[in-house]
Structure 1
């Protein structure tokens, strides 16, 4: 007769304890949560500094939550698959697994940019699904949803079909959003493309991802596109009349990006609007003025109206500063002081250098035209001319150069009598 192992008495005593499986389930939950916390801390300590050291403070909290929930769910799934426990212990582990999966889904949804309410609904649905699947309640639920149906023509539509369609649409939406975010980030960080080309490829990527997601969803849901043939004529008519301007603006925006005549950062003037291009959208171009106002100009207008692009081929812009001095001043001294005032102004370029020319001999003084160059028109033009005017004023006062004041001489002839009211009327 073989002797029992030395640990057998301890196992017998453990099996004799009440709720021993429940205690084991709580221990498994504790171990799984501990492993999740440790994995999250290790990932934040070693993985983030190696991959993204600059964004560690932003990524660390979310990565820790994702790792903690994911590792906890994996450990609980492994324990549930290895051994079978009594119903009470199985319920505890299933609840822990459902909570871990729900927390993981919530963090993933928030990372994809969903609102807190939508992420909470997704996590709650996954919690119910996991609990039902572990406790054997998912099959009766599926059968009940499939039995609740109604006929639409020759097609039978059940609640299960509706739930599948909503779930599939949500999954496709999340997948398309995650893929589009990655593509847009990659295009935005590409140094091989300029600003206009990056915006163009981002718009094309948005259209392509949305189109592919729609066709994949139609194929997976089994929708027959021939059923939509009846509505194609009405839909085309609606596009022709109702969406004509929208499609025109969309095509005009793509053309603007293709020929690179206007790109983000350009300083443009359209009619009475002057500012720099902040964003080129699907419908309109956002132009930000110096007053802080954002003007939305339709893309089609930029294709048909006259547009001044101050930074199309070069960001250097010439500004004219006009002033007047008296006839009795030293004109060459005034010219030299004006050039000096422009040269010491911080935003005026040294190359090309400022120049000053006599424009004309006016009625009240000599007209000068000071021409200066700047390379940052988006920072404003009026502040540059004002600064130059102040410096000219200070230098002119210092060197005795005067500016004329308009004068009128009135001469009266003593022999001339003023006309009477009747004479003035007759004359």
Structure 2
């Protein structure tokens, strides 16, 4: 463990070394060569980028090679600076002592390290994450190049917080964050690969596919966390102190999240609903477009999507129009006046339903008179369609065809009639005027 005296002595020795280096005339020669090389490299990078079309560069090449080529073009200035510093270092080594070109060696190594980091981080799509990883990796490389990596690691490991049997140090936390990010990234890549294989399988139902994908993702994440904790030397039994707090947190603040997660697993296992089903939950109707850990997404067909918690599908009444069979019975209720022939009305209604292209040909439509009401005769037309999706459109088309048929055969649809009695007016007493509603 490094104490304050050792840190003070290290800082003083570093200051003396820097002072001796700055006092040497060779320092200014190397500084001038570095500035000159930086200017030349900047000009080379600008010339390369201006002469090459980045959008058409490497077209037709495999994606990894095309990506590598574009990164090299964008980093042309860095590559040119590294080559210039290596050349200047070689010339200085041939003409004078190696210690007089130490800064050129450091500059060349830092430039090469930055170039390698840019190539490696090019596979990361998140721009903020690229900056963080690049800076952290280049800082480690810089400390290693100047020989200060081990002292820095010892300093980070010298301060600790002990919680039960767990010793937390800044170095341990940094290792944990880096390794955990890398492990979760690899776990995500593996999960996407397995998800693609499962999705292409025709032997698995959609609900089983979603269930397997969710369980695989969860299992890979847990495995990644366990591996990382073991790699940094954290014993899982040392985390037992946090189990009580986690249990209390779940009991008070996370109970809905846990309930939705368990409900989602139950829904995927019992196959009561699955992606593609047409459902009605309360006032929300639509097709299930996705089933997630916390909720399902129901597309209403008009651009809206209802995000319904999984728990509601367990505790509330759910109408699944496609649970066992997609064939759906459509009902059309209408009324005619008493002057119409009810047998003719039923025949026209059946013909209108049979003319619909969505009507199932193997099941004949049916029309029944259901009531002799005050306003007229009430009928119910029923017919089957093969898929409930777009049922309202089919119903509207049949009603329009029925309206045209009624117009052709002079069958009227009744409307409310109101009587207005005028007393003491210009009309004779007892005269009634019928006003359509």
- TM-score, with structure 1 as normaliser: 0.71
Partner of 1:4 in structure 2? none
**CA shift at 1:216, angstroms?**
0.9
Cα distance in 2 for partners of 1:105, 1:191 equals: 37
Q: Does 1:367 align with 2:382?
A: no
Could you list the per-position Cα deviations for residues 193-239 of structure 1 after superposition, in whole angstroms to 9, with x for gaps in the alignment? 22211111111012101111111121112113333333434433443
Distance of aligned partners of 1:358 and 1:142 in 2 relative to their CA distance in 1, 3 Å threshold: same
- The answer (yes or no) to whether the contact 1:396–1:402 under 8 Å persists in 2 is yes
Q: Does 1:317 align with 2:328?
A: yes
Cα distance in 1 for partners of 2:215, 2:78 equals: 39
Q: Does 1:295 align with 2:295?
A: no
Moved more, 241-250 or 259-268: 241-250
1:47 corresponds to which of 57, 62, 79 = 62
Q: Does 1:395 align with 2:410?
A: no
1:152 corresponds to which of 145, 162, 182 = 162
Q: Does 1:386 align with 2:401?
A: no
Partner of 2:27 in structure 1? none
- The answer (yes or no) to whether the contact 1:145–1:160 under 8 Å persists in 2 is yes
Cα distance in 1 for partners of 2:243, 2:257 equals: 19
Distance of aligned partners of 1:207 and 1:73 in 2 relative to their CA distance in 1, 3 Å threshold: farther
- The answer (yes or no) to whether the contact 1:275–1:289 under 8 Å persists in 2 is yes
Partner of 1:217 in structure 2? 228
Distance of aligned partners of 1:194 and 1:151 in 2 relative to their CA distance in 1, 3 Å threshold: closer
Cα distance in 2 for partners of 1:100, 1:207 equals: 36
Partner of 2:363 in structure 1? 352
Could you list the per-position Cα deviations for residues 273-315 of structure 1 after superposition, in whole angstroms to 9, with x for gaps in the alignment? 2222222222222323345443333323322322210011122
SS at match of 1:323: strand
Partner of 2:426 in structure 1? none
Which 5+ residue runs of structure 1 have no aligned equivalent? 1-18, 49-58, 412-427
Distance of aligned partners of 1:199 and 1:68 in 2 relative to their CA distance in 1, 3 Å threshold: farther
User: How many residue pairs were aligned?
Assistant: 370
Moved more, 317-326 or 85-94: 85-94
Q: Does 1:109 align with 2:105?
A: no
**CA shift at 1:105, angstroms?**
3.5
Partner of 1:90 in structure 2? 105
**CA shift at 1:242, angstroms?**
4.2
Residues 201-280 of structure 1: pairs in structure 2 closer than 5 A = 201-280=212-291
Distance of aligned partners of 1:376 and 1:89 in 2 relative to their CA distance in 1, 3 Å threshold: farther
Residues 304-343 of structure 1: pairs in structure 2 closer than 5 A = 304-343=315-354
Distance of aligned partners of 1:402 and 1:375 in 2 relative to their CA distance in 1, 3 Å threshold: same
- The answer (yes or no) to whether the contact 1:320–1:371 under 8 Å persists in 2 is yes
- The answer (yes or no) to whether the contact 1:267–1:377 under 8 Å persists in 2 is yes
**CA shift at 1:107, angstroms?**
1.9
Residues 63-74 of structure 1: pairs in structure 2 closer than 5 A = 65=70
- The answer (yes or no) to whether the contact 1:101–1:126 under 8 Å persists in 2 is no
Cα distance in 1 for partners of 2:166, 2:380 equals: 82
Partner of 2:114 in structure 1? 99
Moved more, 197-206 or 337-346: 337-346
**CA shift at 1:149, angstroms?**
1.9
**CA shift at 1:261, angstroms?**
0.9
Which 5+ residue runs of structure 2 have no aligned equivalent? 1-32, 91-100, 422-437
Q: Does 1:178 align with 2:193?
A: no
Q: Does 1:193 align with 2:208?
A: no
- The answer (yes or no) to whether the contact 2:365–2:383 under 8 Å persists in 1 is yes
- The answer (yes or no) to whether the contact 2:188–2:217 under 8 Å persists in 1 is no
Moved more, 315-324 or 285-294: 285-294
Distance of aligned partners of 1:406 and 1:398 in 2 relative to their CA distance in 1, 3 Å threshold: same
Cα distance in 2 for partners of 1:200, 1:333 equals: 54
**RMSD (Å), alpha carbons:** 4.3
Cα distance in 2 for partners of 1:46, 1:385 equals: 54
- The answer (yes or no) to whether the contact 1:278–1:287 under 8 Å persists in 2 is yes
**CA shift at 1:180, angstroms?**
2.4
Partner of 1:120 in structure 2? 131
Cα distance in 1 for partners of 2:78, 2:212 equals: 39
Residues 131-150 of structure 1: pairs in structure 2 closer than 5 A = 131-146=142-157, 148-150=158-160
Could you list the per-position Cα deviations for residues 372-422 of structure 1 after superposition, in whole angstroms to 9, with x for gaps in the alignment? 22344343x3333222222211222123222334557999xxxxxxxxxxx
- The answer (yes or no) to whether the contact 2:180–2:224 under 8 Å persists in 1 is no
SS at match of 1:122: helix
